[in-house]
Amino acid sequence: MMGTSNKSIEKRQPVLSGESDLTLEVVILIIFGIFMLLFGIFLFQIHTGALPYAPDSTYGLFLLLVAIQMITMGKTPFGDLQRSWFLILIGICVAIVGMAASFIPGYLSFQVKEIVGFILLAGGAALLLQLFVREDKARTWKQYPGVIRQLILACGLVYAISCICGLITLAPGITTDYQTAVILILYSMSFFYIAFCIQRVKRQDPLTGQTDSGVQEEQVQQAEGFKKIFKEVTLSISVGVVLLVATLLTLLGILLIPVNLGLLPFSQDGLLGMLLVIFSIQMMALGETPLGPYKRSWFLIIIGIIFATLGISACIVPGLLTSLLQVLVGLLNIIGGVILLFMRFYPILQAKRNPPEQPAISHPLLLKMGITQTILNFVSIAFGISMLIPGIIPGIINANIIIVNGLLLFVLTSFILKAEVIARELQI
């Protein structure tokens, strides 16, 4: 019995510690699934008045997820396009609208509702039409057995229910809250199903998994002149997410100035929810956490799912987790800033105590990146302290600190892009 038990333990140990192979597209589909599942479950309680509801941050979070797909993968609600700076700029604009609606409730309520409704209805209809009309979609998939053929059903379900949800969003009176809740739960199941299918295809054939690319292939052919204007860019997922965080913090800091002057309302839940969802995507897709990079294990995936669940819940139901998330985000920023500062300066101190025979020469760009990251770490600690002890930093000063944080992230992004260009030239 002891031998069998030990063998069983040995088999179980790698499950959580083993490296995850989830792609970004699958991660975002899973988060969409969690979003719709929680929304459907909460709607039963929202209908009875047992829970409050924040439609602005709910729709805003949806737009943020759409923007992430556009910026990091070139995916739009109407199909895949070549990932150009023009498309990235549109994605950032979509993110700004979603963030503004979440942070400042009541000012963009009608607009974000109409935008989300249009995206769901028109986007779902466009993708459903492409599924059966395009030669490289259902017509090709049905020739293969197994999970590839299941993609036809999975895609069809997601697109069809998207259309239904779009109609409900634009004309909410056509269904009851209970019916809408059931539809949302079914919608979540379709997202989980398509994520499962895409991941299976990816594991069976990596090339096929890439062409599938989260339901839509990068098959949009455009004229040569058009391509010159909207030239494809090489932008890593990590840089794309940093761009989003930079946009979020800069916008947040700007909006906090009139908020602190009493001119605008502010939703702490919308901010905390969006931050946690972005953290979850970084963890699940990249292995990057507020405490530094780690191996992208299945344990980290579970932590990311928990973060996504907390963030989505905060956006849908205001006040439910506010205090908990304030403490969590505050501690993550403080501890993360301290850890990253230690990791940066400890090797320098060690080198001074035991200097090498030939001192290493650093590229000027790396020195600039190091200085920028150091300032960002100190700003992160200050932001964390303001979360843990509200009011310790005057509101206007805190707003300016957050603006500086966002602008420095834009600067860091430009340094990373330059470093990537230099690395590619050296490889050539």
pLDDT in tens, 359-412: 555 667 778 888 888 888 898 898 889 888 888 888 888 888 889 889 998 888
- What is the mean pLDDT of the segment spanning 192-220? 61
pLDDT value for 221: 37
**d(Cα 187, Cα 191) in Å, to the nearest integer?**
6
The helix/strand/coil state of 185 is helix
Which amino acid does the sequence have at 300?
Answer: L
| pLDDT value at residue 15 | 55
Place of tokens 């088999």: 11
As a whole number of angstroms, the distance between CA 169 and CA 167 comes to: 5
Mean pLDDT in the chain?
83
Q: Looking at 74-146, list the stretches that DSSP marks H as alpha helix, in order from N- to C-terminal side.
A: 85-103, 109-118, 124-133, 138-141
Q: Which of 214, 281, 227, 282 is nearest to 75 (CA)?
A: 214
Classified as helix, coil or strand, 118 is helix
pLDDT, tens digit (0-9, with 9 covering 90-100), for 24-76: 889 999 999 999 999 999 999 999 999 999 999 999 999 999 999 998 888 88
Higher pLDDT, 380 or 205: 380
Mean predicted confidence (pLDDT) in 298-323: 93
pTM for the structure as a whole: 0.85
Nearest by Cα to 138 from 148, 152, 124: 152
Check residue 231 and give its pLDDT: 65
Identify the weakest region by mean pLDDT among 198-212, 314-328, 338-352, 389-403.
198-212
State residue 317's pLDDT score.
95
Tokens found for residue 201 = 């295809």
